A = this chain, B = another copy of it.
């Protein structure tokens, strides 16, 4: 057997009203909360109101910071970190999709460490971050059960991640009712993100026995949603399954991280503003084709779990789900290929990859 590490630092509650049922685990985190969310999702999902009502019921003070951008930049989390430090908050609540949850982790560190945000990327901090509660309002990020945070770094023209066990959320509340306010596009794109986490965690040089178990179960559950997802049928049962699958995929990448679909996708988001999950979705089919020569059996396991016959069928399905008419020049694709080579997760790809390979995947996916 191989060596491995298994770690899951988050107590995750799942199910309708799970936050109210287990509010003791939220309010015990501190006396004043700094709530990190985006402009809309916290409010429209109802999660922000629910958190505020719990805090007001027990006299916990709070401050709402609703300025998290999509794909938060270092500058954006710096602003949040300063506000958190000045707020006297002793814990952080992240509410939203991957952007607010990832930002919450950065802000939890910046609140207690007088550092420049770029230092986050090297885990260059010394004081313990504030404890975090995470409430996802999308079913895709998995960030509520990971120790990873992805931030946009204009200096490097890309997104980069940091991972530190001290930012595992102490508690997460996964309630599908908070995902009901998503638009069709956000629901689909974030679902595709979750699927790509499970696939990239499974087709990963750092995959472990435990991460494989989570990944295959994530894909099994995702497979049960494929038809409804393709028909834009987001009934409550499907919402719950997608949220559960997303959590399992998060538990997967908490062990493994991602690979090149994510690494390439960051450029599509950075330069063309393509939503993160959609960016992965546009690349996944060619990513599977590229890896198939070295990982035929494992890719077959992925397809079996999804109940899809072949990579071609996977491609047909994805083409209906994720549509883009954005055009790319040869120079753009070459630049993205070059940038992807610098991502940490590139080394984790099952098949070794060079810049030319990256370009080929981009060209076949988007050319």
A1 CB–B CB distance under 8 Å: yes
Binary flags per residue of A14-39, CB closer than 8 Å to B gives 1, else 0: 11101001100000000000000000
Given known pairs A213-B217, A244-B209, the reply for A14 and B3 (CB within 8 Å) is yes
| Shortest distance between the CB of A307 and any CB in chain B (Å) | 18
| Shortest distance between the CB of A134 and any CB in chain B (Å) | 14
| Shortest distance between the CB of A285 and any CB in chain B (Å) | 28
A213: chain B residues within 8 A (beta carbon): 213-214, 217
Q: Is the pair B8, A22 in contact by a Cβ cutoff of 8 Å?
A: no
Q: Is the pair B11, A7 in contact by a Cβ cutoff of 8 Å?
A: yes
A3: chain B residues within 8 A (beta carbon): 13-16, 18, 21
Name which residue of chain B comes closest to A239, CB basis: B1
Most buried by B among A165, A217, A237: A217
A5 CB–B CB distance under 8 Å: yes
Q: Is the pair A241, B15 in contact by a Cβ cutoff of 8 Å?
A: no
Identical subunits present: 2
A4 CB–B CB distance under 8 Å: yes
CA gap between A240 and B241 in the complex, in Å: 34
A353 CB–B CB distance under 8 Å: no
Where chain A touches its partner, the secondary structure class is: mixed
Q: Is the pair A1, B244 in contact by a Cβ cutoff of 8 Å?
A: yes
A12 CB–B CB distance under 8 Å: yes
| Shortest distance between the CB of A343 and any CB in chain B (Å) | 25
| Shortest distance between the CB of A259 and any CB in chain B (Å) | 23
A13: chain B residues within 8 A (beta carbon): 3-5
| Shortest distance between the CB of A296 and any CB in chain B (Å) | 23
Most buried by B among A8, A10, A241: A8
Most buried by B among A3, A10, A237: A3
| Shortest distance between the CB of A315 and any CB in chain B (Å) | 29
| Shortest distance between the CB of A49 and any CB in chain B (Å) | 21
Given known pairs A213-B213, A217-B213, A244-B209, the reply for A5 and B1 (CB within 8 Å) is no
Name which residue of chain B comes closest to A240, CB basis: B1
A14: chain B residues within 8 A (beta carbon): 1, 3-6
Q: Is the pair A7, B12 in contact by a Cβ cutoff of 8 Å?
A: yes
CA gap between A2 and B244 in the complex, in Å: 11
User: In chain A between 229 and 252, which residues have their CB closer than 8 angstroms to a CB of chain B?
Assistant: 237, 240-241, 244, 247
A8: chain B residues within 8 A (beta carbon): 6-8
Q: Can you name 20 extra interface pairs (CB under 8 A) apart from A1-B240, A9-B11?
A: A1-B241, A1-B244, A3-B14, A3-B15, A3-B16, A3-B21, A4-B14, A4-B15, A5-B12, A5-B14, A5-B22, A6-B11, A6-B12, A7-B10, A7-B11, A8-B8, A9-B9, A209-B244, A213-B213, A213-B217
